């Protein structure tokens, strides 16, 4: 089977993207892992298949690098939006994208060359109920902030939120660039998280600026995570460390996150880039 793909990235969180609007291609976990392998395949943090939707313009069929499916990917949905517009699948600058976490409203910002340069996404309202994240704890107060969690002989004070996928946000006062990444998988696979979790290690730089490293469920440490940046900003606002809008620096760049609190939705803005295109045989 030949696949005509585009390699894309959002703040260096990279993806193999292709269209299957007739639902002819079924991807196995092995096939996804092969595509994402950085030595024997194309190399990526995940695979995005543009599929038809009965309730939106398109469905984002997203896979982690290990072949598991994910509910949502913030950097990935920006790349999908650029893909469908730049390739003529849709010529509207406002579109609806169905994901496993629901339908997202997406707005396109054009560059001088007429192609999509950046994308704004309404990510929906954050979810704090542990049963819906999910986190296996009985919470007397929601949202759950600063829950002590011991892994690898160290206690972390964790805050839990879902942005359509589960997140464990940890604020630190140390240099996160030198922070041991081994704590990521230990938290991801902790028994508290029945569906595993994404992990954000965050440091406050100012009242409007955060720095973050992320360990993504099913992909390992990545250079960026859009839903993770949203989760970090939301928790930072709840803790009164920052005020909206919040710039979140990740290893691959920066994302702008807006959240007005309470039941408001989270708005994420950031770039989407085409790296190259080609054909691969699976």
Whether the Cβ atoms of residue 145 and residue 239 lie closer than 8 Å to each other: yes
SS (H, E, C) 267-278: EEEEECEEEEEE
Q: Which of 36, 73, 79, 158 is catalytic?
A: 73
Q: Is the peptide bond before 245 cis (omega within 30 degrees of 0)?
A: yes
CA distance 258 to 199: 20
Phi, psi at 76, each rounded to 5°? -65, -40
Mutual angle of helices 226-238 and 74-86, in 10-degree steps: 130
Strands 198-206 and 166-171: parallel
Helix (H, G, I), strand (E, B) or coil at 199: strand
- Measure Cα distances from 175 to 5, 11, 15, 247 in Å: 38, 21, 28, 18
Q: Which of 36, 79, 158, 225 is catalytic?
A: 225
Reply yes or no on whether 225 is catalytic: yes
Whether the Cβ atoms of residue 52 and residue 59 lie closer than 8 Å to each other: yes
DSSP state of 40: T
Reply yes or no on whether 73 is catalytic: yes
- Which residues are known to be catalytic? 73, 225
């Amino acid at each position: 089977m030949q696949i005509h793909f585009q390699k894309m990235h959002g703040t260096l969180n990279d993806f193999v993207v292709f269209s299957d609007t007739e639902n002819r291609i079924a991807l196995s976990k092995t096939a996804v892992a092969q595509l994402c392998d950085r030595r024997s395949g194309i190399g990526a943090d995940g695979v995005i298949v543009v599929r038809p939707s009965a309730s939106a313009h398109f469905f984002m069929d997203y896979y982690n690098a290990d072949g598991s499916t994910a509910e949502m990917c913030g950097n990935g949905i920006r790349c999908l939006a650029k893909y469908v517009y730049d390739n003529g699948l849709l010529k509207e600058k406002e579109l609806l994208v169905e994901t496993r976490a629901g339908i997202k409203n997406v707005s396109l910002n054009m560059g001088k060359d007429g192609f999509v340069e950046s994308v704004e996404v309404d990510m929906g309202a954050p979810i704090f109920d542990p049963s819906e994240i999910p986190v296996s704890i009985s919470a007397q107060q929601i949202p759950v902030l600063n829950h002590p969690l011991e892994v690898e002989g160290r206690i972390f004070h964790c805050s839990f939120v879902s942005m359509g996928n589960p997140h464990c946000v940890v604020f630190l006062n140390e240099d996160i660039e030198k922070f041991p990444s081994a704590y990521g998988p230990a938290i991801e696979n902790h028994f508290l998280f029945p569906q595993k979790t994404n992990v954000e290690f965050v440091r406050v730089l100012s009242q409007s600026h955060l720095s973050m490293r992320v360990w993504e469920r099913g992909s390992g440490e990545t250079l960026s995570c859009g839903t993770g940046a949203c989760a970090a900003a939301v928790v930072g606002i709840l803790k009164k460390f920052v005020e909206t809008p919040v710039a979140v620096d990740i290893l691959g760049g920066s994302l702008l996150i807006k959240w007005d609190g309470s039941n408001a939705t989270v708005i994420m803005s950031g770039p989407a880039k085409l790296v190259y295109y080609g054909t691969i045989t699976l």
